[in-house]
């Protein structure tokens, strides 16, 4: 086993974060971790039974810079390794890689105004020519507090760049299938939220929300 694979497996066993405090309002947090997926399928080829084992490893790393009540800056990177292994020598194993990087930001100035952005970039180098192997996705939300911070007027834009696609590759011994679909098209949503609380007879809190789109 290579050193790189050993590190990847170790990382994928859990998540680890370390926080560094700059002062009372600012801090930096390092994040490292990942996830694993495993599946096994039993198939037949010319009346010969064989098994295919699909293993995915997705390590990720990120840094969070937070300035309390002022600004948040959170870049991250994730890579996914997928291996489809067969238990008979007649079939060759197949390996694929997918990359994802992103940035989440938030600003809380001027007072009562909150602006959040979620920007991601996906790269799938293994799909065939003619398919879009890269895609940018940006979601943005602008919220303004009203009614003494009990309400908010919010404008949300999903897929601001209008590039959201889903190009994937599925592989078996008999065929390799590349497919591409639009997951959700671009949309804008304006909403008004109003939250009011009241105490019940036994001190229970009653939260109600009214949404107007």
Q: How many angstroms separate the CA atoms of 11 and 14, rounded?
A: 6
Q: How many angstroms separate the CA atoms of 68 and 66, rounded?
A: 6
Structure tokens at 56: 């995915």
Q: Where are the domains of the chain?
A: 3-212
Structure tokens at 153: 């007027």
Predicted confidence at residue 49, as pLDDT, reads 80
Three-state SS string across the chain, please?
Answer: CCHHHHHHHHHHCCCEEEEEECCCCEEEEEEEEEEEEEEEEEEEECCEEEEEEEEEEEEEEEEEEEECCCEEEEEEEEEEEEEEEECCCCCCCEEEEEEEEEEEEEECCCCCEEEEEEEEEEECCCCCCCCCCEEEEEEEEEEEEECCCCEEEEEEEECCCCCCCEEEEEECCCCEEEEEECCCCCEEEEEEEEEEEEECCCCCEEEEEEEEC
Predicted confidence at residue 166, as pLDDT, reads 61
- C-alpha distances (whole Å) from 187 to each of 105, 114, 162 are 20, 20, 9
* Cβ atoms of residues 107 and 66 within 8 Å: no
* Cβ atoms of residues 63 and 69 within 8 Å: no
Predicted confidence at residue 177, as pLDDT, reads 55
Predicted confidence at residue 171, as pLDDT, reads 53
- Segment-wise mean pLDDT, segments of 10 residues, the chain, 213 residues: 48 76 92 86 75 87 94 95 82 85 95 94 78 83 88 89 65 53 75 70 46 43
Q: Which of 3, 84, 4, 2 is nearest to 37 (CA)?
A: 84
Predicted confidence at residue 180, as pLDDT, reads 54
Predicted confidence at residue 165, as pLDDT, reads 64
């Amino acid at each position: 086993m290579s050193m790189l694979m050993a590190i990847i497996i170790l990382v994928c066993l859990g998540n680890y974060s370390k926080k560094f405090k700059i002062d009372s309002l600012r801090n930096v947090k390092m994040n490292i971790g990942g996830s694993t997926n495993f599946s096994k399928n039993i198939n037949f080829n010319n009346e010969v039974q064989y098994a295919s084992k699909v293993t995915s490893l997705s390590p990720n790393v990120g840094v969070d810079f937070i300035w309390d009540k002022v600004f948040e800056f959170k870049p991250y990177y994730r890579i996914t390794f997928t291996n489809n292994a067969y238990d008979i020598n007649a079939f060759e194993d197949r390996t694929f890689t997918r990359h994802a990087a992103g940035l989440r930001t938030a600003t809380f100035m001027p007072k009562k105004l909150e602006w959040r952005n979620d920007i991601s970039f996906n790269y799938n180098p293994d799909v065939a020519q003619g398919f879009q192997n890269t895609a940018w996705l940006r979601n943005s939300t602008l919220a303004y507090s009203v009614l003494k911070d009990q309400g908010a007027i919010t404008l949300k834009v999903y897929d601001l760049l209008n590039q959201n696609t889903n190009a994937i590759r599925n592989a078996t011994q008999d065929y390799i299938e590349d497919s591409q679909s639009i997951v959700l098209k671009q949309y804008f949503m304006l909403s008004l939220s109003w939250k009011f609380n009241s105490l019940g007879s036994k001190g229970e809190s009653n939260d109600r929300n009214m949404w107007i789109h």
